[in-house]
Amino acid sequence: MSYTPSALQLQREEAKRRASRRSTAVALLSTLLVSALLTIIVANAQGAEAVRESFFNWYYAKKAFPRILDGIFLNLRVLLIAEFFVLVFGLSIAIARTTTSPVLYPLRLIATIYTDVFRGMPLLLVLFLVGLGIPGLRLPYVPNSAVFLGTVALILTYSAYVAEVIRAGIEGVNPTQRQAARALGLSQPQTLQHVVLPQAFRNVTPPLLNDLVSLQKDSGLISVLGAVDAIRAAGIETAQSFNFTPYVVAGALFVLLTIPLTRYTDWLIRRQDRAQKAQGAF
Amino acid sequence: MSELLELNGLRKSFGSNLVLDEISLKFPQGSATVIIGASGSGKSTLMRCINLLEELSDGQILLEGEDISQYGINLDSVRGKIGSVFQAFNLFPHLTVLENITLAPRLVLKKSKEEANQQALALLKRFGLEDKADAYPNLLSGGQQQRVAILRAIATEPKVLLLDEVTSALDPVLIAEVLSLISELKADGITMIISTHEMGFAKRIADRVIFLSGGRINESGTPQEIFENAQSAELKGFLSALHDAGRL
């Protein structure tokens, strides 16, 4: 159906367009003002020249780049493996905590203690305890490499966070959904797999991805155990030149590493907002 | 008609609050029983006891002579034989209409995907919903959602179909859609237990009407007996309240 908008509607649309042009102009102007102000403040600081020399030196950036790039590939490998295991363990712990059967009480207890301990303990401490403690045990077949142990520490800590997020998702699914599934004759595990978990994951995708972004940047912490990742590589370069530019390079690479996932998270949140508004639930 | 379902002295209490008392009823194969009563009279609780979503406080439920209320029975296999539809539809929002209907046939009856899809599509086609097969529930009207929920319940070929105030959340036009579907199922010979506030519909479809009051069976009989020849003061009061509200 096509129709001619009334003069009133045309007027209204013109006013809307004017308002939107004005907001764009205001946003542009304020951005310009703020960046000018910041530039003036930073450039006029007493140590500006010295900082630029030791943190933003193009020569050292180019020199350190290949080594740091090698390092970031190690981070990438570590975080991919860690993300996989974190999701598997996080899901298992979350399911264990939401069971109700008396037989599984010990499992619930262990899962609860586990999440309490590893959510409370600073990641740096876990890294030291695992990275230095496990080699001390001299266990057979357990590799003593810093990369392996660092990854284990990351998995231990982040599984606890992710488990709590997934558990919140499971408990957020309306009980009537579970009831409807059981009324159809689905068993408890079938209900969980086909009805509860798909909805739970949908509800918690943004916070879940947020935790994964955090895991990505924290993969740099394995450098404290001596693994030559991007941060460690930057440290080695800095030790040779006494110039801090390599750290800035490593930082920039970490940001680049996390940007795809952060943008994806934002996009997902926006899409969910829209979907909810479409259903009239504000 | 042989007895398909039998309730013997069924009681249900929540703490010290007795919501169902001494409910004994027989449901013959192919019969349609309508349960009426004010809110809080125990209609929904009775439904939830029959499909074992609530544990009984006393009494017994026999399905084809088997005591399904006995301790330790496999609840999943019993629930599969009793189809339930709720007031709030409770469709699975992450699954399409077709997936909603085929989920239980595939997982519980172990049908192949092709077979389950074929049967579901045949059902959808029969009730004029075939163009909605791939739609998600939130894009359907309330009446369409409730019809899909009923088809989902009968797709597992249950022995009994429980319909608990299935039209209470709908406007009159949508109610008509849902009620005509239920009438067709009645013509198919599906045994039904219906709780409703639609008295006109109750008169048309019921073989027998049960009036619950305060958790007890206050009166039961044919629609004529209940609606035109009420005996008890409670039923007379209920009917006159409905009349005053313009719903009778």
A95, part of any domain: yes
Question: If you measure CA to CA, which chain B residue comes closest to A203?
Answer: B94
Residue B47 sits in a domain of what CATH number? 3.40.50.300
B119, part of any domain: no
Judge: B104–A185 Cβ closer than 8 Å, yes or no.
Answer: yes
Please report the pLDDT score of residue B76 as a whole number: 85
How far out from the chain centre does Cα B248 lie? Answer: 21
Nearest to A221 by CA among A153, A156, A163, A158: A153
Domain that holds residue A174: 57-276
- Taking the CA atoms of chain A, what radius of gyration do you get in angstroms? 26
Residue A146 sits in a domain of what CATH number? 1.10.3720.10
C-alpha A246/C-alpha A234 separation (Å) is 5
Where would I find the H helices in A173-229? 175-183, 188-191, 197-218
C-alpha A255/C-alpha B133 separation (Å) is 44
- pLDDT, one tens digit per residue, over B96-153 is 999 999 999 999 999 999 999 999 999 999 999 999 999 999 889 989 999 999 999 9
Contact map slice: A 48-87 vs B, CB within 8 A: none
Residues B7-23 have a mean pLDDT of 91
Please report the pLDDT score of residue B92 as a whole number: 94
Is the minimum CB–CB distance between A195 and chain B shorter than 8 Å?
yes
Judge: A180–B90 Cβ closer than 8 Å, yes or no.
Answer: yes
Please report the pLDDT score of residue A277 as a whole number: 59
Supply the angle between the helices B113-126 and B97-107 in degrees, to the nearest 10.
130
Q: Is the C-alpha dihedral spanning A58, A62, A63, A66 positive or negative? A: positive
A4, part of any domain: no
B224 pLDDT above the threshold of 60: yes
Question: If you measure CA to CA, which chain A residue comes closest to B50?
Answer: A183
Residues of B in contact with A184 (CB under 8 A): 79-80, 83-84, 103-104, 108, 152-153, 156
C-alpha B78/C-alpha B60 separation (Å) is 14
A281 pLDDT above the threshold of 60: no
Q: Which helix (H) or strand (E) holds B3?
A: strand B3-14
Please report the pLDDT score of residue A261 as a whole number: 85
A280 pLDDT above the threshold of 50: no
A36, part of any domain: no
Residues A216-245 have a mean pLDDT of 91
User: Dihedral (C-alpha) A211, A212, A217, A220: value to the nearest 10 degrees?
Assistant: 110
Is the minimum CB–CB distance between A186 and chain B shorter than 8 Å?
yes
Judge: B84–A183 Cβ closer than 8 Å, yes or no.
Answer: yes
Is the minimum CB–CB distance between B139 and chain A shorter than 8 Å?
no
Percentage of chain B beyond pLDDT 90 is 61
Percentage of chain A beyond pLDDT 70 is 97
Is the minimum CB–CB distance between A281 and chain B shorter than 8 Å?
no
Residues A145-151 have a mean pLDDT of 93
Please report the pLDDT score of residue B1 as a whole number: 46
Task: Provide the number of structural domains found in chain B.
Answer: 1
Average pLDDT, chain B: 91
A47: which residues sit within 8 A by CB, 6+ positions away?
A: none
Residues of B in contact with A279 (CB under 8 A): 138
> Minimal Cα–Cα distance from A167 to chain B, Å?
19
Domain that holds residue B21: 3-91+161-244
Residues B190-219 have a mean pLDDT of 91
> Phi and psi for A33 in degrees, rounded to 5?
-60, -50
Please report the pLDDT score of residue A276 as a whole number: 58
> Phi and psi for A32 in degrees, rounded to 5?
-60, -45
A25, part of any domain: no
Judge: A182–B138 Cβ closer than 8 Å, yes or no.
Answer: no
B213, part of any domain: yes
User: Model ipTM?
Assistant: 0.86
Task: Provide the number of structural domains found in chain A.
Answer: 1
A16, part of any domain: no
Question: Which among A180, A184, A199 has the least Cβ separation from residue B94?
Answer: A199
Question: If you measure CA to CA, which chain A residue comes closest to B156?
Answer: A184
B81 pLDDT above the threshold of 60: yes
Please report the pLDDT score of residue A4 as a whole number: 87
pTM of the model: 0.81
pLDDT higher for A173 or A261? A173
B16, part of any domain: yes
- pLDDT, one tens digit per residue, over A25-75 is 999 999 999 999 999 998 888 888 888 888 998 999 999 999 999 999 999
CA diameter of chain A: 84
> Minimal Cα–Cα distance from A195 to chain B, Å?
7
Cβ B7 vs Cβ B50: under 8 Å = yes
B42 three-class SS: coil
- pLDDT, one tens digit per residue, over A9-30 is 999 999 999 999 999 999 999 9
Question: Which among A176, A183, A198 has the least Cβ separation from residue B94?
Answer: A198
pLDDT level of residue B234 (50, 70, 90 thresholds): very high
- pLDDT, one tens digit per residue, over A108-128 is 999 999 999 999 999 999 999
Residues of A in contact with B152 (CB under 8 A): 184
B222, part of any domain: yes
